[in-house]
Amino acid sequence: MIPFADPGRQYSEYRQQALDAVGRVLDSGWYVLGEQVACFEQEFAAYCEGGYGVGVGNGTDAITIALRSFGIGTGDEVIVPSHTAVATAAGVEACGAKAVFADVEERYYTLDPVEAEKAITPKTRAIVAVHLYGNPADLDALAAICREHDLRLIEDCAQAHGALYHGHKVGSIGDAGCFSFYPTKNLGTPGDGGMIVFSDEGACERARQLRQYGWDDKRQSQFAGVNSRLDEMHAAILREQLRHLDGWNQRRREIAGMYDARLKELDLVVPEVREGCEGVYHLYVVRVKNRDIIRQKLREKGIGASIHYPQAAHQQRAYRRDGLCLPVTEKIVDEILTLPMFPQLRDDEVNLVCQSLDEILSEGL
């Protein structure tokens, strides 16, 4: 089966470097919040053209802690797309705020600024823009709305490490960029990890306290924090991986180019990258009619197509909102299909995916 993602194949590319890095950490005797995390925070923030990096336990916590570091919590509302990993909504609600769902643009699958603005109430404090599938959201329009209504703009960059918005790295444009290093992400460690990249030093300092019991530098809790730390072993591995990220993203773009060329002849919708942006194809998602049948037939041919995501957040029990209707989200949810996409995917495998889709679609259903 050709999987839609394959972190194990990726590991084989940096195996020795990772083992050496882990060995150095084990030998050092210092395992949590040490030199590796501090170096990786600086290196990754610099990579993102951002100011200050704060390593945390995972991408969901990155969103929660970023919001809390701006004083957002109980009684506040935060606008998010519903068409995203449910982690976006979970991250918002873990700070005590309510996730308010808005629709996405049909062309790019990212938060629609017009719909986001309509969702603003006196309780709104922030907008979380998700660069879904590695494709930058409309940050200019969203930033303008945030300025006008005095809201924070948080970028959920969990799928977009290295993506460019008008020549600038995502994560450096809003008030904070939240990243996940879950194994399948474009920068993915064998375990959990996350980071917030802040443009403001004060918010960064609060996040550093929040991730560790609200401690100040005398280890006294100044406010109620959590325990959400990036550990030394993952930071050491991530530092090695960071050297590969641009090359891996380039290979993803190359694969996307091959898919685009072959698939646009077929009766399906290929992904579009926003003008002036460079996507990083965390996922390659097409839209087709009869999606479930096609997915099944692909599986029979040994192709592990997947769905991101089979239910939008507001369609799941935990986040159901009475009377809420998001027409674009609810339409595309039944059409989206994720094809295999990871840097180590071989050309012959890409060809096989295209050929199989061609056969399935021309057979008629």
Ligand X SMILES: *Cc1c(COP(=O)(O)O)cnc(C)c1O
- Interacting residues toward ligand X by CB under 6 A: 58-60, 84-85, 87-88, 130, 156, 158-159, 180, 182, 192, 194
Pairing type for strands 284-287 and 336-339 reads antiparallel
Nearer to ligand X, 180 or 209 (CB): 180
Shortest separation between residue 132's beta carbon and ligand X, angstroms: 6
Please write down the HEC assignment for all residues of 200-229: CHHHHHHHHHHCECCECCCCCECCCCCECC
Residue nearest to ligand X (CB): 59
Residue with tokens 């053209």: 49
Backbone phi, then psi, for 49, in 5-degree steps? Answer: 60, 20
CB of 312 to ligand X, least distance (A): 13
Identity of the residue, 6 or 354, whose beta carbon is nearer to ligand X in the bound complex:
6
Give least dist CB 83 to ligand X, A: 10
Q: How far is the CB of 178 from ligand X (least distance, A)?
A: 7
Residues 127/150, Cβ–Cβ less than 8 Å: no
- Give the nearest distance from C-beta 123 to ligand X in angstroms: 23
**Nearest-angstrom CA–CA distance, 193 and 19:** 18
Closest CA to 198 of 233, 155, 165, 241: 155
Closest CA to 343 of 253, 238, 242: 253
CA dist., res. 153 & res. 156, Å (int):
10
Between 134 and 294, whose beta carbon lies closer to ligand X?
134
Decide whether 190 or 266 has the Cβ nearer to ligand X. 190
The least CB distance from residue 361 to ligand X, in Å, is 28
- Of residues 58 and 82, the one with the C-beta less far from ligand X: 58
Least separation in angstroms between residue 52's CB and ligand X is 20
Distance CA 248, CA 221 (A): 41
C-beta closer to ligand X: residue 111 or 143? 111
Maximum Cα–Cα distance for the chain, whole Å? 69
CB 82 within 8 A of CB 90: no
Lookup: tokens for 216: 């100040």
By beta-carbon proximity to ligand X, the closer residue of 60 and 241 is 60
Beta bridge partners of 129: 155
